[in-house]
A and B are shown apart, each in its own frame.
Chain A
Amino acid sequence: MSPTAFFQQLVNGLTLGGMYALVALGYTMVYGIIQLINFAHGEVFMVGAFLGLLALSFAAQLGLEGVAFTLCLAFLVSMVLTSLVGMAIEHVAYRPLRQSPRITLLLSAVGMSIFLQNLVMLIRSRDLQPFPRIITGGVNIQGVILDYIQILIAVASLVLMLALDLFVNRTRLGQAMRAIAQDMEAAQMMGIDISHVIRLTFMVGSGLAAAGGIMSGLYYGGIKFDMGFIVGIKAFSAAVLGGIGSIRGAMLGGFVLGLCETLLVAFLSAAGVTEAFAYKDVIAFAILILVLILKPSGLMGERIVEKV
């Protein structure tokens, strides 16, 4: 592998990692609070991308101009609408079941995931939807191409993560979230409105996933109704890798997974493993299984002690 190729793969991996991290945050936040794997979260990412596309084409119809303006508008509209979708999901599929056995909740989440996927497919289309490429071009540094969109993804995901970190650690609502994560009953007794905080968590997580969805659309130039499934599983793997429940862990896990998928595969391929690229998706699953077996608390998580 030439140095140019190495740095190019590094750029590819970091961009991919940024997107994984944004989605992983949603998993980690929800899990941290109500110990539920929000199976439909990958679909929220997809819905976010489609709502972004809707906003962009609407802006184009209204004749709005200016790349920065339309882009901000699309992000804003999609993130707000998707957080409402997240709220609706919580309300319909999870809230009524909060007292039920965990398997019931998980099955409901699986049902929600199937439902959302097919809903978008029926409303929109089964085919790949071209996403307007409003940011094109890039800089060429000694043969390594760094697209402007890649820079945007890196910057935007870092800003969003930073904002989330501040929110969770510095605001009263964030404090409430952490309190519920530690002990739901005690938090309730302290006068925290649990339902309200859970709803808010879903909204924040969904908004972040929507941002990831739009970025994915801008980056790849196309979105599809089934795009959330595989990203969802990978982002979940990233969350587990970082230590589920830990927000900084999810960010780290996302980037590590993104880099593994590009650099590791590229190294293997350069080392003569001809089928390295064919087995790319196995890496995420293998990481997931290995982490769960060897170090279930992940890179940055705390040890979970089963409460009796």
Chain B
Amino acid sequence: MRRYFVLGLCFLVGGFFCACQRGAQEKVLTLGAVVPLSGPAAAPGNEMNNAVLLAVDEWNAANKMGGYRIALESKDDASDPKQAVSAAHALMSDSQVVAVVAHLNSGCFLPASKIYHDAGVVAMSGATTNPQITLQGFPEIFRICTTDLVQGELTAPFIQQLGLKRIAIIHDKTQYGQGLAEVVRDAGPRSGSEILSFDGIDIGDKDFRALLTKIKDAHPDVIYFGGMYDEAGLLVKQMRDLGMQQQFISDDGAFGQDFIDAGGDGTEGAIVSMVGAPLTDLKKAEDFMRKYEQRFGVKIQNYGPYAYDVANILLTAISSVIEQKGVPDKKALIEEARKTEYDGVIGHTSFDEHGDTKNKVITFYRVEKGKFTPVKTVSMNK
């Protein structure tokens, strides 16, 4: 009996020491990151987390943060809105969290943005593309990727320029895929295309032949798919099986080796769009990709560069706030972030009044010999 008490006492005392030590050691500021580390989007989420880790380590090594050490607090939202809100609460409960690298999924950022707003903490996303997020009027919310609106609006004229008129649209009934497909559907007729059909498929379903047979019967020139790589790969494979040689076009959800792995030979000639300019065009990007591969042993697939830039933009803004005020003041950080002019891995970033990037560029890639080759970069910049 007494042994248990002594054990417990030792443990409690030890715990307190641990807790106290953390505060006393040195000046620390915490960068939060909420991305899906588990769940259906764990792969891109982990890539984003790694990229943020890389940025934080570089800043710590350079020691330019006015004596502060930067800690990274990563939380998992599992692509689930409920868990995203929980994770946001968890970060906001920690007063040391100065800014947050936020979410991969729009469905997560949308409800969580309110909590960042309540706490007055800057949250910047590199991957959520739902237009609604920045239209809520929260000054703390930023994003550096273009929205579905931009991607969809730019895709429709691109299809037209390929000389393809009759579009059959498929989407995966998710917030992301369907949202994008709707923009293409609405923008298509404006650039002179004809929308033949607009159908949803279920994620996790593998049999799309019935739908494709119906679409084949309508003789489209091009099939556009709004969704993620797994379904895109299966779709293109089954298209070819059914003898459909039409052009297949998809979105940034299909931009990644996973699409080519899933779709096999059928992906040859398929076109996907990705936000931003081609990474191979930018010198900084090459540098980053090399460093990433060195450190984590895998190649960058999709959203790593965005997370890396988000982290760098935030840390740059924090360092200039510290320079001015001596402390990482959260309120001043909002203003500082708004004034961002940053040349990073994905190109130049600055923000408009909503907190959206002014750099509205997307690039189309064609799959050639199992690799993505940039075909055309288009922009909406004025």
Contacts and interface: CB of A to CB of B under 8 A. Distances in A.
Contacts of A1: 214, 217
Contacts of B341: none
A130 B264 contact: yes
B75 interface: no
Contact of A277 (B206, B211, B234, B237): B211
B164 interface: no
Q: Interface residues of A: mostly helix, strand, loop or mixed? A: helix
Interface string B192-217: 00000011111011110111011011
Contacts of B368: none
A17 to B, nearest CB: 11
Contacts of A127: 43, 230, 258, 262
Interface in B214-233: 214, 216-217, 230, 233
A222 B234 contact: yes
A221 B210 contact: no
A281 interface: yes
A221 B234 contact: yes
A140 B216 CA distance: 15
A43 interface: no
B241 interface: yes
A147, A220, A224, A275 — most chain B CB neighbours (10 Å): A220
B206 A227 contact: yes
Given A127-B230, A277-B210, A133 B264 contact: yes
Nearest to A125: B43
A230 B264 contact: no
B234 A5 contact: no
A216 B217 contact: no
A266 B230 contact: no
B243 interface: yes
A149 B345 CA distance: 46
Interface residues of B, number: 32
A227 B200 contact: no
Interface stretch (A8-16, A29-37, A85-93, A202-210): A8-16
Contacts of B205: 230, 280-281
Interface string A254-295: 000000011001100110001101101100000000000000
Contact of B210 (A4, A216, A265): A265
B217 A4 contact: yes
Max chain A Cβ within 10 angstroms of own Cβ: one of B198, B202, B214, B242 = B214
A307 to B, nearest CB: 39
Given A1-B217, A127-B258, A222-B230, A145 B242 contact: yes
A266 B217 CA distance: 11
Contact residues on A (Cβ < 8 Å of other chain), bracket: 35 or more
Nearest to B218: A5
B243 A145 contact: yes
Which of B40, B211, B213, B261 has the largest count of A CB atoms less than 10 A from its CB?
A: B213
B42 interface: yes
Interface in A182-225: 216, 220-222, 224
Contacts of B204: 224, 226-227, 229-230
A1 to B, nearest CB: 7
Contacts, number: 95
B242 A128 contact: no
Given A12-B210, A126-B43, A127-B43, A5 B243 contact: no
Given A145-B243, A227-B204, A277-B199, A126 B40 contact: yes
Interface in B168-190: 173
Contacts of A128: 230, 233-234, 258, 261-262
Contacts of B242: 8, 145
Nearest to A130: B261
Q: Is the interface of B mostly helix, strand, loop or mixed?
A: helix
Contacts of B234: 128, 220-222
A8 to B, nearest CB: 5
B214 A269 contact: yes
A138 B240 CA distance: 12
A145 B241 contact: yes
Contacts of B217: 1-2, 4-5
A12 B40 CA distance: 29
B320 interface: no
B238 interface: yes
A262 B234 CA distance: 17
A278 B214 CA distance: 13
A128 B203 CA distance: 11
Nearest to B205: A230
B230 A126 contact: no
Contact of A261 (B200, B210, B216, B258): B210
A266 B43 contact: no
A133 B206 CA distance: 15
Contact of B213 (A9, A16, A216, A222): A9
A2 B210 CA distance: 14
B243 A220 contact: no
Contact of B238 (A2, A220, A274, A275): A220
B207 A224 contact: no
Contacts of B230: 127-128, 222, 224
B206 A222 contact: yes
A277 B201 contact: yes
A221 B237 contact: yes
Given A277-B199, A277-B201, A266 B213 contact: yes
B210 A266 contact: yes
A301 B151 CA distance: 55
30 contacts: A1-B217, A5-B213, A12-B209, A126-B42, A127-B43, A127-B230, A127-B258, A128-B230, A128-B258, A130-B261, A130-B262, A145-B243, A216-B206, A220-B206, A220-B237, A221-B234, A222-B206, A222-B230, A222-B233, A222-B234, A226-B204, A229-B204, A269-B214, A275-B200, A277-B199, A277-B201, A277-B211, A277-B214, A278-B173, A281-B202
Interface of B: 40, 42-43, 173, 198-202, 204-207, 209-211, 213-214, 216-217, 230, 233-234, 237-238, 241-243, 258, 261-262, 264
Given A221-B237, A222-B206, A278-B173, 17 more contacts: A2-B217, A8-B213, A9-B214, A127-B258, A128-B233, A128-B258, A130-B262, A220-B206, A220-B234, A220-B237, A222-B233, A222-B237, A230-B205, A261-B210, A269-B214, A277-B201, A281-B205
